[in-house]
Structure 1
Amino acid sequence: MELPITLALDTATPYLALGLLTPHGEFSWRQEVDRAHAEALPGAVQALLGEAGVDPRQLGQLVVGTGPGSYTGVRVGASYALGLGRAIGAAVVGLPSLESLIDAGTEGEQAVSLDARKGQVYGAVYRVLGGVVVEEVLPAAKYPRETFAAEVGGRLWRQDPAPDALVLARSGAARGRSDWQLQYL
C-alpha cells in the first residue's frame, strides 16, 4: 500500500522546517527565520511543492510539530496546517517537535533537548530505527538541566539542534496522532 503524499512542518524553534514525502522522492527546506514564521511559511510551502512537482491538492496528510515552542510559533504552524488540511481534505496529525531534533542517521537511543532557560530544558529520549522514532524512552517534558543530563547518561545528546521536518514526515506517516495538543515554552 502506497503512503499518502505527506507534508510536515515545524515552526516551534527559530527555524522554519518543511519536509515532503512523495512516491518519487523526499524533499526538504529549512531556514532560520527567527520570529517570521507567518511571513515565510506560505511561500516556502509553495516553493517546496513546486520543486517536487506536487499540486497541494495531492497532499494526503499533513504533519505538524506541536512544540514545545513559542506561543506564536507553534500556533502559526498548527493554524496553517489545519487551514490547508481543511481546504484540500487532507488529514492533519501532530507529533512533538522534539522528535524533529533526532539524528535520523543514528540508530538506537538518543536524547534531544531545547533550552527552556533558567537552568531548564525541554527534553526526551527516543529509540530510533530506520530514521524514525519508534519509542519514547524518557517522556518529553521540562526538566532541570542536571536531572536531564543524569537521565541521558552516556547516550547521544543533541542540544538545540536545527529541526529536520523529514523526520517528522516519516514518523507522522508511521504514527502521527490525530488527538494532538500544542505545547508552549
Structure 2
Amino acid sequence: MKILSLDTSTEYMSLGLKIHEDFYSINIKAGQTHSEIVLPEINKLLSEHELNTKDLDAIAFGRGPGSFTGIRIACGIAYGLGYGASIPVIGVNNLLALADSSGKNKVISVIDARMGEIYFSAYIKEDKTFSAPIFEGVYKPHELPQLKES
C-alpha cells in the first residue's frame, strides 16, 4: 500500500510517504510559506521514489486542530490531488496522531494553539485502539481539566 500524508497545521510542513513497510518523510519549518512549498515538496518526495499521485492508494492530511489557514491548505491539496487521481482522502485528527506516535497506552496530547492557549486531549488505548478523546478542546494552561488516576 502506498499512502501520502501531509500536515500544514503548525509552523512545520510535514510530508510522509508509506510504501508497503517503508516510510519516508520531509519536515520543514515553513512559517507562513506552506502554500508555496508543499506542492513542490510533494512532487520531490514522489519523484524520488518514481511515483506519481495515480500510483498512490490514498492521501491523508492533518485535519486539526491547528492553524485554520494551514488546515485549509492541507485539506485543499489533499482533496485536489485525491480527486485528480481518483483515490480516497483521509482526514486525521492531529491530537490522536500525536498520541498514537507515542507508543503508550495512556497519553495526553498537547499542541500550542497560540494566544496563551493549548489544544488538549487525553486518550486511553485498549485492544490496540484509542478510546474517544477525553476533554478534547482548547484550554488556557491554568484551566486544564482534572484527570483521574486509573
**Would you say same fold, with TM above 0.5?**
yes
The residue matched to 1:99 in structure 2 has which SS?
helix
Q: Paired residue for 1:35, among 32, 42, 46? A: 32
Matched, 1:18 2:7: no
Q: Paired residue for 2:90, among 79, 89, 93? A: 93
Matched, 1:62 2:59: yes
Q: Paired residue for 2:131, among 120, 130, 135? A: 135
TM-superposed deviation, 1:100: 3.6
- 1:40-119 aligned within 5 A: 40-102=37-99, 104-119=101-116
Distance in structure 2 (CA, Å) of the matches to 1:39 and 1:33: 9
TM-superposed deviation, 1:21: 1.3
CA RMSD of aligned residues (A): 2.5
The residue matched to 2:44 in structure 1 has which SS?
helix
Larger radius of gyration: 2
Fraction of identical pairs, as percent: 27
Label 1:111 to 1:76 Cα distance change in 2 as closer, same or farther (>3 A).
same
> Number of residues paired by the alignment?
149
List per-residue Cα deviations over 1:112-155 (Å, max 9, x = no partner).
112234543111113458xx86333414311232343633x78x
The residue matched to 2:28 in structure 1 has which SS?
strand
The residue type equivalent to 1:67 in the other structure is G
The residue type equivalent to 2:85 in the other structure is I
TM-superposed deviation, 1:34: 0.5
Asked whether the equivalents of residues 135 and 145 of structure 2 are also in contact (C-alpha less than 8 Å), the reply is no
List per-residue Cα deviations over 1:94-113 (Å, max 9, x = no partner).
12222343372532111111
TM-superposed deviation, 1:89: 0.3
Distance in structure 1 (CA, Å) of the matches to 2:20 and 2:49: 10
> Normalising by the residue count of structure 2, what TM-score does the alignment of the two structures yield?
0.84
Distance in structure 2 (CA, Å) of the matches to 1:114 and 1:24: 28
- For structure 2, list consecutive stretches of 5 or more residues without a partner in the other structure: none
Distance in structure 1 (CA, Å) of the matches to 2:99 and 2:44: 25
Distance in structure 1 (CA, Å) of the matches to 2:89 and 2:34: 19
TM-superposed deviation, 1:51: 2.5
Distance in structure 1 (CA, Å) of the matches to 2:102 and 2:144: 23
